[in-house]
Structure 1
Amino acid sequence: MTAGPDAPAPAPELLWEDVAWLLDPSGGGTLPDVYIADTTAADWQAVLDLVVERGWSYEYSEGSSVLPLPGAAAVLSRPADAECPNLRVWPAAEVCAIFRFLADEQIDFDVSLWELQGQERLDVLCGFLTAIGRRLGKPVPLYFEGTTRAPFLGYEPDADRVRVLWTPPEG
């Protein structure tokens, strides 16, 4: 059974008022890092396929050259001294994720907190993380910029949703 046009929109995974403090760009780093561990070239290819299947806008580049999107195996087998390729993905016009092909065993990308302000854009982020996590069957954690100590937000496969993963220390 499908919902009709007058059906209520699904409830957001997270409410902006509950997580705005975590996504405040004035609180430090503005580009939280996403690290999906224990991946393979096949996982990278699954993400590339997802980008195309979803019809998300994207731009693949090596240095200053914009190129057609290659397969993951070709990107990950480039010479060690080659420039690191970037894949910019826009799951919505105002929200961009920048993937860097550093190694096959970890998928990493970042997003700009400046682009994630408000409920609508938070919903875009949650949908994006969920789509990737479901495709890979793996957690998709966000870390404060430049750290990998503890994620603050992320998709958890067991819960099949994006959740807050960090609480500030009491003190």
Structure 2
Amino acid sequence: MNWEQIASDFAWDGSWRDIYVLNTSEADWQAVWNILLEWTPPANFSVSGKIESMPLGVEAALESETDSLLSFCVGPIQLACHFFTVVEIEFDFDPRQVSGETEIEHLDRFVRLLGDATGKQVTLTQENDQEAIIARYSPDLGSVVWRAFS
């Protein structure tokens, strides 16, 4: 990966960037949740804007009547997870937080961690556009491919 080749994907255009794991189950969510329970620095979990302790199980966050949010840092990048649906794990972040190879290395490690925990493909995309892929990780291949699809 060469930062110069992908820098434009992180230029501010008024929208966030998304990280997706698709076709997920509650077991996939729990695998990711278990990683985030041990995250350093600790993740912040809130329900309806009120900070709470992260429960051991992800079920409470996935309940449709709660407005749950999990925020945490991957290196210098703050990510948020909103628990929209069981069948899709989605994180979002402000691309202005990505300014070079150091941040890309942090994202690369996080994307691989998600894929290895769930055994599923992970994509980093433009906001709300699962087809506008910036990077893709498949556990079968074991490496993140940047801008192979643009």
Give your verdict on TM over 0.5. Answer: yes
Larger Rg: 1
Among candidates 23, 36, 40, match of residue 55 of structure 1: 40
> Which amino acid letter does the alignment assign opposite residue 21 of structure 1?
S
Secondary structure of 1:110's partner? strand
For 2:8 and 2:96, the matched residues in 1 are separated by: 13
1:157 is the counterpart of 2:139: yes
Cα distance, 1:103 vs. partner?
A: 1.3
Q: Return the match for 1:143 from 114, 125, 129.
A: 125
8 Å CA contact 1:34–1:109 kept in 2: the answer is yes
What is the identity percentage for the equivalent residue pairs of Structure 1 and Structure 2? 26
Tell me if structure 2 keeps the 8 A contact 1:116–1:125: no
User: Which of residues 66, 73, 95 is equivalent to 1:113?
Assistant: 95
1:54: Cα distance to partner? Answer: 4.3
Q: Which runs of 5+ in 2 are unaligned?
A: none
Count of paired positions? 148
What SS class does the counterpart of residue 8 from structure 2 fall into?
coil
Deviating above 4 A after TM superposition, structure 1's stretches of 4 or more consecutive aligned residues are: none
CA contact (8 A) 1:16 1:119 kept: yes
Tell me the equivalent position of 1:166: 149
Unaligned runs of 5+ in 1: 1-13
Give the superposition deviation at 1:33: 1.6
User: Could you tell me how far apart the structure 1 residues matched to 2:145 and 2:29 are?
Assistant: 23
Rounded Cα–Cα distance in structure 2 between residues aligned with 1:155 and 1:29: 25
Q: What residue number does 1:134 align with?
A: 116
Q: 1 CA distance for matches of 2:42 and 2:74? A: 7
Q: Which amino acid aligns with 1:158?
A: D
What is the RMSD of the two structures over their aligned residues, measured on CA atoms? 1.7
